[in-house]
């Protein structure tokens, strides 16, 4: 498939020359059936089945390979986290999106670490589900806003000068995003230093790294880049 990203499932179907083969791993019957009904209404998706246990899925995968699995985290026999790790290691071409009621950062981070390419809450809308599938099928990651915020807040209370594997911070660390926001707010280096409780020299170092990553030469260009690439509200 071309590296040029498409924006819709129908475009993706045309690019692939077939529908996206998708399965659901979920042990709650009513929710599983509801998701099947929802997904079956999307013309670009071919439902290959639903699985209520890890054993059912593992038996299926021996002879069949879906493109994508929607994975519940809490299963009766085996956690969705462990099952995701098994799938992504044994069948690396199969992509996994977590579909859960949990939005706690530790669970989200564990799911990301296990190899999931996305994280959605079970109240996801049809449009967001289609967007997530489209992005993940093109090798990108997709995390609903609630999941992304929880993880970023978790990182903010530990080590802010890091990026999160699998979480799209658009090439910047969380600390850099905080500096970008404050620069966009018109803060001086001293004000940024006081706000973030770091030295002025450290602020200057962050600004230089940010500008280098952006390929810009002034604060004005930095602000324009941040607005154009929707970085302002990410921290």
Q: What is the CATH number of the domain that holds 100?
A: 3.40.50.2300
Q: Please tell me whether residues 46 and 85 are part of one structural domain.
A: yes
1 within some domain? no
Q: What is the pLDDT along the chain (235 residues), one digit of tens a residue?
A: 545 788 899 999 999 999 999 999 998 899 999 999 999 999 999 999 999 999 999 999 999 999 999 999 988 778 899 999 999 999 999 999 999 887 777 788 788 878 898 899 998 999 999 999 999 999 888 888 777 766 666 655 554 454 555 455 677 877 888 888 888 888 899 999 888 878 888 899 999 999 999 999 888 888 888 877 777 665 5
- In total, the chain counts a number of residues equal to 235
| 105 falls within a domain | yes
If asked whether residues 80 and 146 sit together in one domain, one would say yes
Strand partners, 120: 99
Task: Measure Cα distances from 124 to 103, 127, 223, 226 in Å.
Answer: 13, 8, 33, 28
Q: Note down the domain range covering 106.
A: 9-150
| Domains contained in the chain, number | 2
Nearest Cα to 25, choosing from 59, 8, 42, 43? 59
Task: Please report whether residue 234 resides in a domain.
Answer: no
Looking at the structure, tell me whether residues 41 and 109 fall in a common domain.
Answer: yes
Asked whether residue 4 is assigned to any structural domain, the reply reads no
For the entire predicted model, the pTM comes to 0.67
Q: Are 121 and 103 in contact (CB under 8 A)?
A: yes
């Amino acid at each position: 498939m071309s590296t040029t990203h498409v924006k819709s499932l129908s475009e993706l179907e045309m690019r692939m020359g077939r529908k996206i083969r998708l399965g659901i791993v979920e042990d709650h019957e009513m929710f599983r059936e509801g998701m099947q009904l929802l997904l079956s209404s999307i013309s670009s998706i071919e439902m290959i089945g639903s699985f209520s246990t890890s054993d059912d899925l593992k038996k299926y995968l021996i002879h069949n390979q879906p493109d994508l699995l929607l994975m519940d985290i809490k299963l009766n026999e085996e956690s969705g986290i462990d099952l995701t790790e098994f799938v992504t290691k044994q069948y690396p071409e199969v992509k996994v999106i977590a579909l859960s009621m949990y939005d706690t950062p530790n669970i989200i981070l564990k799911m990301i670490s296990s190899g999931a390419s996305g994280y959605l809450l079970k109240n996801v809308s049809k449009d967001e589900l289609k967007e997530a599938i489209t992005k993940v099928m093109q090798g990108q990651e997709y995390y609903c806003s609630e999941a992304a915020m929880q993880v970023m807040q978790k990182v903010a209370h530990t080590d802010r000068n890091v990026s999160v594997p699998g979480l799209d911070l658009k090439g910047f660390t969380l600390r850099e995003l905080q500096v970008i926001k404050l620069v966009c707010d018109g803060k001086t280096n001293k004000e940024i230093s006081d706000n973030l409780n770091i030295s002025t020299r450290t602020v200057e170092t962050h600004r230089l790294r940010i500008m280098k990553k952006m390929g810009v030469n002034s604060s004005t260009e930095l602000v324009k880049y941040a607005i154009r690439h929707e970085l302002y509200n990410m921290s």
